[in-house]
Amino acid sequence: MAQAQPTIKPTLWVVVDDTSPEISYLGPSGSWFGQDGVSSFFTRNDSSAIINSNGLVYNGTQHGSRLPASFSLSYSGVGFEAIGTIEHGNRSKGDLQWHCFVDGNEVQNNTSIQTLPADNNWFICGDWQTGGSGERQHTLTVNISATKELPFWFDWMRYTPSSDLSLENKMVRLEKDDPSVLAGLSSGWDVGMGTTTTKGASFRFEFIGTSFGWYGLAQLDNIDPPTVEATIGSYSVDGGPNQPVNFPNVPSRGHWFNQKFFETGILPMAKHKISVIYTDTGKYPLGLTFLRMQNGSLSDLVATPEPPAHSPRQNIVILSTVIPIAVIAIAILLGWFENRRRRNRHSREVPQISGPGDGEPQDLTTPVPFFSPASPLGFTDKSTFVNRSDPSAVLASQRDNILVPAVERKNANNEPEVVRVGLSDRRTTYTSEAPPSYTA
């Protein structure tokens, strides 16, 4: 059967502790026993021994066996990982063996390597690396071949939940590269390493649940660990008082993974806002590898975006550019309206007229004769006279826009004299006296 292609590591998990009632431990009577995860458990009379180099045991408990045994649990999800503690002994005793099955099909198994020091958070087996086993209900079974010299320790497992899985009473783990986590980081973070040494770097996040924990890398490259408790930042929940963030208590220089930087107490079951700020000068970095939330909600895990570091300056630049343009545009618009208003007023006071034939406006200060040598009094046949003693005739001339000659005075022979003509409209009417009878 062909295996699925490797996939990107999930960033959201449901975590199941070894003490969960969902897990069934099987084997001979007395084969399984609990073990407190105290640091002395890993102490060896060997200068190469590393204590807690990969973090503490989850919740301080784990299940171990020194006999052949197995455990199983069911989960609704896609891919999973089983995590434990490896206690290496002498290589002559061989390697500890185990085999993991999902729904009866064997999946990728890790092995213990005797040359490595004892370590927590050791990968036992998993199937997310090959794409998982499908989004549905699964059963994981782990068979071990432990001995007195080579004990097997199981600490916790995690799986990517099905989209419709209720997270009530579940522990949710978010990796540092989850989009909702990345959105809450301010500038000044090394996103790849998940650390910051920039004073004032911050993180804002909203979550649904009853607790919140922050875990990360305690990085000491060129400096010894603090001899006393070193406060490197603070956090607050829902705008409450600031609580200290202390650098983890590690024994020496080096990279110490999965260290707890802080954890809240029990919170009411509700949506909460948490704010974290780094206040150190860069001597001891703040690390972020993953977050843990009890009763976390998939649909409501939302980062509160950090305001852009230069947003005030950007706003000023935008305003300084937009305001002058807006002022100029308004001035142009007002000028256009004023010019239009003046033109309208001028057209009402001094109306333009159309001359015959070409339709071009004519200057009213210049007489526009409508004379024809062949017509009586020189008027053209198109001229119409309006008797202004007849009001109806005057109104008709206004309504029909007929061309009328205007008579303003009489000549020395007491005959009508044409001064100018105009196109009558409803604002200005040029009328004339009816000319006297004329006999050629």
d(CA 193, CA 400): 89
Structure tokens at 121: 């958070």
**Cβ burial 118-145 (10 Å sphere, 16+ → b, else e):** bbbbbebbbbbbeebbebeebebbbbbb
d(CA 237, CA 267): 9
DSSP letter for each residue of 296-361: --TTT-EE-PPPPTTHHHHHHHHHHHHHHHHHHHHHHHHHHHHHHHHHHHHHHHS--EE-TTT--E
Q: Which residues, including other chains, have CB under 8 Å from residue 341's CB and lie 6 or more apart?
A: none
Q: What is the dihedral of CA 133, 139, 140, 143, to 10 degrees?
A: -130
pTM score of the predicted model: 0.65
Residue-level pLDDT at 47: 34
d(CA 195, CA 201): 10
Structure tokens at 195: 């650390």
Q: Are 84 and 118 in contact (CB under 8 A)?
A: no
Instruction: Specify burial of residue 97 (Cβ count, 10 A radius: 0-12, 13-18, 19+).
Output: middle
Residue-level pLDDT at 28: 85
d(CA 345, CA 141): 95
Which one-letter amino acid corresponds to residue 214? W
Average pLDDT across each block of 10 residues of the chain; the chain has 440 residues. List them in order: 56 96 90 59 34 80 90 97 80 79 94 68 92 95 90 93 92 96 97 97 96 97 91 98 96 92 96 98 97 77 52 35 57 71 58 45 43 41 44 45 46 58 41 42
Helices of type H across 244-310: none
